Amino acid sequence: RKLTYNSLPALIVVLTDTGVLVTVIARHFLKPVPALVQATLRIAREETDVATPFQERRDEIGDMATAIETLREAVLERGRLRQIRDMAQQLEHMAHHDALTGLPNRVLLMKTLENRLEQLSASGQPFNVMLLDLDRFKAVNDTLGHAAGDALLVAVASRISSVLGENDMVSRLGGDEFAIIQSTNGDCESDAAMLAARVVHAVSRSFGLEGSDISIDTSIGIACAPGHGTSATQLLQHADLGLYRAKSMGCGYFVFYEAGMDMAAQHKHALEIDMKSALENHEFELHYQPVVNLQSGRIVAYEGLARCRHSKL
């Protein structure tokens, strides 16, 4: 009993010292653990802006911190790569789509035409190309401003898209010009006529812009592949000739390309060149044609006429 009483204080001191020592050691080794857990959770949330602590230690804690930092750098690099990928996708979309309407642009139109022509060569799958031009669009821009004109273009793009077939594509070429590639399985001209009629009807319905009802129309030129061309450039040129003929007829017409339209266009182009040259060379002459009162025989007015002395015509 005496030995017990004498040993008890010593035992308490030993246990206390041991507890303190264990606590100090535990704090030394376990104190970094919550910080490392938080660092891991931040990485899980993709918060990679804070470096992992305790990497300088030369024990298991340091090894764990180094491993977590390696993970953080990997996640950070993956985020950079994802940003680069997203930026590349955005740039590619911008390169192939119109910024205002979101429709494919001329670049994507030409690529799609080339692909359709390859399919045509391989499987004989015909298609149609349509060029559209809005009638009276300039008047909207001049009277209501460019903001209203842009809103009108967006609305027109939406209406055209709503009447297309599942495999058709509409693109904006610039200004108030649009193009359509129409897939067809049967009679190309019949399918084109039905789609063109739907487009004309859709565009001709009035638009509500800035509290006003605006009415416009569209003219359409149509070329059918392969009958009207076997290259993208040729099909667009022939559709453009049909569009020129449609606009000369008035508003809201669609016209198919026909052989001989290019001759008329070439003649018009040559005549325009001749007129420009005649203006530069002062070959135009002014003539006055009298208007006579048949009862009195007196000249009451003159009609001013411009005449060109052409070398051949």
Identify whether the C-beta of residue 127 lies closer than 8 Å to the C-beta of residue 225.
Answer: yes
Distance (Å) of CA 51 to CA 35, 42, 73, 110: 11, 10, 9, 50
The rounded percent of the chain whose pLDDT value lies above 90 is: 42
Please report where in the chains the tokens 């035409």 appear, as a residue: 113
Residue 295 has pLDDT above 90, yes or no: yes
Global confidence as pTM: 0.64
Per-residue pLDDT, 77: 83
Q: What tens digit of pLDDT does each residue of 216-243 get?
A: 999 999 999 998 988 999 999 999 989 9
What residue type is assigned to position 231 of the chain? S
Burial of 106 (0-12, 13-18, 19+ CB in 10 A): middle
**CA-CA distance, 113 to 97, in Å (whole number)?**
15
Most confident region among 36-45, 61-70, 116-125, 282-291 by mean pLDDT: 282-291
What residues are labeled active site? 176
pLDDT digit string, tens, across residues 49-91 = 888 887 887 777 788 888 888 888 888 888 888 888 888 877 7
Angstrom distance (rounded) from CA 245 to CA 41 = 69
Q: pLDDT (tens digit, 9 = 90+) per residue, 93-126?
A: 778 899 999 999 999 999 999 999 998 888 888 9
Nearest to 213 by CA among 267, 155, 161: 155
Q: Partners of 120 in the beta sheet?
A: none
